[in-house]
């Protein structure tokens, strides 16, 4: 008799798309230098070029934390779908 094949959840899920966006957004924002290579508007005397990059340091940390939490949740969900078996 033939056994039924194992049904696996899809590899690309909406959560994984969000995780990818969270990790790629800082690269796109900072590698597109032409979008922020200017001095105005200045913030407390700091040219835009510098404070924009420093702001992205904070945004990147927050997005990385969000991506990590979503990844953990995704992995817990996949483990529970398997019936709790270890990898």
Enumerate the domain spans of the chain: 14-77
pTM listed for this prediction: 0.76
- Per-residue confidence in pLDDT tens, the chain, 87 aa: 567 777 676 688 899 999 999 999 999 999 999 988 898 998 999 999 999 999 999 999 999 999 999 999 988 887 787 665 554
Tokens coding 7: 């049904």
14 contacts 8 by C-beta, under 8 angstroms: no
């Amino acid at each position: 008799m033939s056994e039924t094949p194992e049904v696996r959840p899809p590899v690309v899920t909406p959560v994984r798309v969000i995780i990818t966006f969270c990790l790629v957004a800082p690269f796109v924002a900072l590698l597109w230098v032409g979008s922020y290579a200017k001095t105005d508007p200045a913030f407390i005397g700091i040219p835009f070029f510098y404070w924009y990059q420093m702001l992205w340091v904070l945004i990147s940390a927050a997005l990385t934390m969000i991506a990590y939490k979503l990844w953990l949740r995704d992995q817990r969900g996949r483990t529970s779908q398997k019936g709790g078996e270890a990898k």
